[in-house]
């Protein structure tokens, strides 16, 4: 494998991708915000199994960061990211500027609406986040024109909303979800883990422990209770939400639901770092 080509403009991107299309090659796309880790590389590997060529984008999207969030502090190191992709199947890295993505400026850009689901859970805690996320994903889809796009299941609500947008707009793109990649201690890999001190990292392990506790429950009510009990006894961790949703609608399962499956979703603050995780549960 060789180091992928890095381009920063739409023109450079189109020159390469159109040549692939003319040669009859399919394109898989992995959108990222950089700060790449093994979770991202798993997405790239999965992408390579679904198409002839792989494009990875690196773009920190201002529209999905709210007031007081970590847009300016979010880690950016394109050289390090390029090295990380050097042993991967990525063929091309698209690393545009903000003006390349939003020629009229982020504030003047027409946004995609995430609808009702976009205002729940992460959307309730981070107003406008999912509208901004869908807006940049739609813009990147338009530029890259992939046949396949690959996303991590760790961001379950994001994956649901992207799939919904693709279906609603009848975009000719197949969405592939990849199971969450975890460290040796079961903490879900995330670029934001770099913000955790060693002691905070240990506190954060309560999140996968809560998922494990929910996994042995007989029904959704018991699963939610088990997860909450683990998180509430963890000093230094503040749970934002603990919910079990219908995988098909992403709406919360009502109390006493007879559903045989549900996706447990968790968001919590460890120090000043916001972490999310989830797990599909089967009951009965």
Both 24 and 96 in a single domain?
A: yes
DSSP track, 38-96 = HHHHHHHHHHHTTSSEEEEEE---GGG--TTSSTTTS---HHHHHHHHTTSS--EEE--
Mean pLDDT across 207-222:
98
Residue 154 forms part of a structural domain? yes
Residue 157 forms part of a structural domain? yes
Residue 284 forms part of a structural domain? no
CATH number at residue 78: 3.40.50.620
Indicate whether 138 pLDDT > 60: yes
Q: Where is average pLDDT lowest: 79-83, 151-155, 184-188?
A: 79-83
CATH number at residue 230: 3.30.1300.10
Helices 129-144 + 156-168 axis angle, to 10: 60
Structure tokens at 113: 């609406």
- As a whole number of angstroms, the distance between CA 241 and CA 183 comes to 23
Rg over alpha carbons for the chain, rounded to the nearest Å, is 19
Both 15 and 80 in a single domain?
A: yes
Cα distances from 219 to residues 212, 239, 249, 253, 284, in angstroms, run 14, 21, 18, 11, 7
Please give the tally of structural domains in the chain. Answer: 2
How sure is the predictor about 1, in pLDDT bands with cuts at 50, 70 and 90? Answer: low
Mean pLDDT across 176-186:
97
Of 178, 210, 241, which marks where a domain is finished? Answer: 178
Q: What is the pLDDT of residues 18-42, one digit of tens each?
A: 999 999 999 999 999 999 999 999 9
Indicate whether 95 pLDDT > 70: yes
Both 147 and 97 in a single domain?
A: yes
Catalytic-residue membership of 40: yes
Both 130 and 263 in a single domain?
A: no
Picking from 207, 220, 267, 259, the residue whose alpha carbon sits closest to that of residue 242 is 267
- As a whole number of angstroms, the distance between CA 143 and CA 120 comes to 29
State the residue range of the domain holding 256: 191-277
Residue 283 forms part of a structural domain? no
- As a whole number of angstroms, the distance between CA 181 and CA 38 comes to 7
Q: What percent of the chain has pLDDT over 70?
A: 99
Residue 282 forms part of a structural domain? no
Both 151 and 16 in a single domain?
A: yes
* Active-site entry in 37, 40, 129, 260: 40
Both 163 and 241 in a single domain?
A: no
Both 21 and 105 in a single domain?
A: yes
Task: Please state, rounded to an integer, the average pLDDT across all residues of the chain.
Answer: 95
Both 174 and 195 in a single domain?
A: no
Both 156 and 223 in a single domain?
A: no
Residue 186 forms part of a structural domain? no
Both 159 and 46 in a single domain?
A: yes
pTM, entire model: 0.96
Instruction: Give the pLDDT score at 218.
Output: 96
Instruction: Give the pLDDT score at 151.
Output: 98
Q: What is the pLDDT of residues 39-68, one digit of tens each?
A: 999 999 999 999 999 999 999 999 998 877
Instruction: Give the pLDDT score at 37.
Output: 94
Of 178, 211, 228, which marks where a domain is finished? Answer: 178
Both 165 and 33 in a single domain?
A: yes
Both 141 and 234 in a single domain?
A: no
Cα distances from 149 to residues 169, 175, 236, in angstroms, run 15, 5, 37
Task: Kindly tell me the burial class for residue 2, based on how many C-beta atoms sit within 10 Å of its own C-beta (0-12, 13-18, 19 or more).
Answer: exposed
Instruction: Give the pLDDT score at 53.
Output: 98
């Amino acid at each position: 494998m060789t180091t992928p080509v890095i381009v920063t403009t739409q023109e450079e991107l189109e020159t390469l991708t159109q040549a692939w299309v003319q040669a009859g090659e399919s394109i898989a796309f992995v959108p990222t915000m950089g700060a790449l880790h093994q979770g991202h590389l798993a997405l790239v590997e999965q992408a390579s199994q679904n198409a002839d060529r792989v494009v990875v984008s690196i773009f920190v999207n201002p529209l999905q960061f709210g007031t007081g969030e970590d847009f300016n502090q979010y880690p950016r190191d394109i050289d390090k990211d390029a090295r990380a992709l050097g042993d991967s199947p990525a063929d091309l890295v698209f690393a545009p500027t903000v003006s390349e993505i939003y020629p009229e400026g982020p504030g003047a850009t027409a946004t995609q609406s995430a609808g009702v689901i976009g205002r729940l859970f992460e959307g309730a805690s981070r107003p406008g986040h999912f509208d901004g996320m869908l807006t940049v994903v739609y813009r990147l889809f338009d530029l890259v024109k992939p046949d396949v796009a690959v996303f991590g299941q760790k961001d379950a609500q994001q994956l649901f909303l992207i799939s919904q947008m693709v279906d609603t707009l009848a975009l000719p793109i197949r969405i592939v979800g990849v199971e969450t990649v975890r460290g040796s201690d079961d903490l879900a890999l995330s670029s934001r883990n770099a913000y955790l001190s060693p002691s905070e990292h240990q506190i954060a392990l309560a999140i996968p422990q809560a998922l494990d506790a929910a996994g042995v429950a007989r029904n959704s009510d018991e699963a939610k209770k088990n997860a909450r009990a683990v998180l509430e006894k963890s000093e230094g961790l503040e749970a934002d939400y603990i919910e079990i949703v219908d995988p098909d609608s992403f709406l919360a399962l009502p109390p006493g639901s007879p559903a045989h499956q549900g996706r447990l979703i968790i968001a919590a603050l460890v120090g000043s770092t916001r972490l999310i995780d989830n797990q599909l549960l089967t009951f009965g």
